[in-house]
Structure 1
Amino acid sequence: MAVFTEGMPCWVDAQLPDLEGGKRFYGDLFGWTYGSYEKDEAERYGHYTEAFLDGELVAGLVPKRDGRMPTTWGVYFATDDATRTARRIGEAGGQVITAPVPVGRHGTTALAADPGGAVFGLWQKGEHAGFEVQGKPGSFCWTEVYTREKEAVDRFYADVFGIQGTQLPDDDVDYLMWSPAGTEPGEDTAIGGRSVITDAFPAELPSHFLVYFSVADCDGTVETVTALGGRVTAPPFDIPYGRMAVLTDNQGAAFAVLAEPSK
């Protein structure tokens, strides 16, 4: 079973209006296959569908129960005690949207928002710990929160999860890399990051998390996304850690892809 320490991203899932359409899109894009719970559990948990890459768990797809819910990719952070962490979220200035609730034998989940309004999940493992593979093409590799309230948000994640921040050396970019508590902060231990919503973004853009998936070929992936009916939000561009693009699927859920440099 994979081991995720407190505050590490351990799972992602997408809320989609058309589950079958989402399965086809990501199956064609990343090569995912799918499995569902037994019939009684499937109905109890809203037909939650697990995605696999070469037989290993990588993500979840779930049909939206309410049309007012956003079509989005969400990230979950590991916790040893969801109730305790939910309490810390309130004390640190965040909001608990959905109190911790058991998901059968699989684990316990909760939904929360940071002081800037970015929504994230908590996951306390049961039989399901989280990703069985990450960093491999077709699987999760990174997440970052975009916020206008950077001071409050930086304090929040430090207080709730013990996150340690390292500022990027590039003075032109206000970006904080996150390392888990108990590690040496820096690129080698980074698990995610905090970015700032600047004037370059639309004024109506809310605080949010962006989920990244690893790919072998960024430009080729962008071509596939458009062929499958998705859209390009930010065309491929180079960063110190590879080549990336920001995309939306054919139902409007945003995500990013990253092709790391060849070693």
Structure 2
Amino acid sequence: MAENRASAEENTYGEGVPCWVDAQLPDLAAGRRFYGELFGWTFEEAYGGSVWARKDGEAVAGLAHKADGRMPTVWTVYFATPDVVRLSGRIREAGGQVVMAPVALGELGTAALAADPEGAVFGLWQAARHSGFGIRHKPGTFGWAELYARDTETANTFYGGLFTDALFGPDAAPDFGRAPVSDVFPVEMPPHFLVHFRVEDIEPVLGAVQRLGGRVQVPLFETSYGKVAVVTDNQGASFALLQR
């Protein structure tokens, strides 16, 4: 079983900071080919048959086989927490749901899945030997997560109550934001998190996505945090490309 080369003590993330992303894919081998060529990722076996993607030798994402065809093919963002059980209780008290109860993944840490009051799903991660991203904010690595909500005031109240320090504390440098779904997507699109990966030059990467069998879901647009385009991979998992 592989593990992040940086221990949890060496590279910790405060509660509410995005610390990991993974994708559940029907065809793991096809996912490795797509993302390996798109972002220059290399891969190694990890817990339970999943694989870790590495960029410049550092862990940047996970890919796992989707065993249940009824589950969506998606990228999930995980928020760090020192106590996943306690945070799960706070999520319920705030009007959210726990979709998957906390489960220990060997010596790596403990994971859970939750949903906010509007149904947007996100992950929780309590680190043990695996702290999360080895690197981020570099080309080919995690750069941002945007929550597309129907009611941003409700979202601000919910996440602000859960992750006050990460969003509003004196050392806050949030890696996720909130926007109305209708700003980018059709109004019928359900609320969701969209994982963004950094790129140096977005135009050629958009061409590579299509060449590799993916598609452009939302063409290039400007945001307060950079140029963004929403794409899907060759199996239908949506993510965004971000050029700062």
TM-score by length of 1: 0.85
For structure 1, list consecutive stretches of 5 or more residues without a partner in the other structure: 164-178
What does residue 16 of structure 1 align with? 25
1:133 to 117, 132, 135: 135
1:1-263 equivalences under 5 Å are 1-37=10-46, 42=47, 45=48, 47-162=49-164, 179-183=166-170, 189-198=173-182, 201-260=185-244
Report the alpha carbon displacement of residue 199 of structure 1 after superposing the two structures with TM.
7.7
Partner residue of 1:174? Answer: none
Q: Deviations over 1:177-225 (max 9, x none)?
A: xx5353256xxx2321011122863243111000000001100100000
Distance 1:123 1:7 in 2: 10
Displacement, 1:239?
A: 3.5
Over the matched positions of the two proteins, sequence identity in percent amounts to 53
Gaps of 5+ in 2: 1-9
Judge which range, 140-149 or 80-89, deviates more.
Answer: 140-149
| C-alpha contact (below 8 Å) 2:181/2:187 kept by paired residues | no
**How many residues of Structure 1 are paired with residues of Structure 2 in the alignment?**
235
Task: Please state how far the C-alpha of 1:151 moved relative to its aligned partner.
Answer: 2.4
SS of residue paired to 2:68:
coil
Q: State the alpha-carbon separation in 2 of the partners of residues 200 and 107 from structure 1.
A: 35
Helix, strand or coil for the counterpart of 1:153? helix
The residue type equivalent to 1:238 in the other structure is E
Which one has the largest radius of gyration? 1
> Which amino acid in the other structure matches residue 182 of structure 1?
G
Instruction: Report the CA distance between 1:48 and its aligned residue.
Output: 1.2
Question: How much has 1:135 moved relative to structure 2?
Answer: 0.7
> What do residues 61-104 of structure 1 show as CA deviations (whole Å, max 9, x unaligned)?
00101001000100000000000000000000000011111111
Q: Contact (CA 8 Å) 2:160, 2:167: kept in 1 or not? A: no
Q: Which has the higher contact order (CA 8 A, sep 6+)?
A: 2
Q: SS of the counterpart of 1:222? A: helix
Letter of the 1:9 partner, please give it.
P
- Which residue number corresponds to residue 175 of structure 1? none
Displacement of 1:158 = 1.4
SS in 2 for 1:24: helix
Q: Is the 8 A contact 1:9 1:191 kept in 2?
A: yes
Which shifted more, 89-98 or 234-243?
Answer: 234-243
The one-letter amino acid of 2:74's match is: T
Q: Distance in 2 between matches of 1:110 and 1:20?
A: 25
What is the TM-score when the length of structure 2 is the normalising length? 0.92
Distance 1:57 1:198 in 2: 34
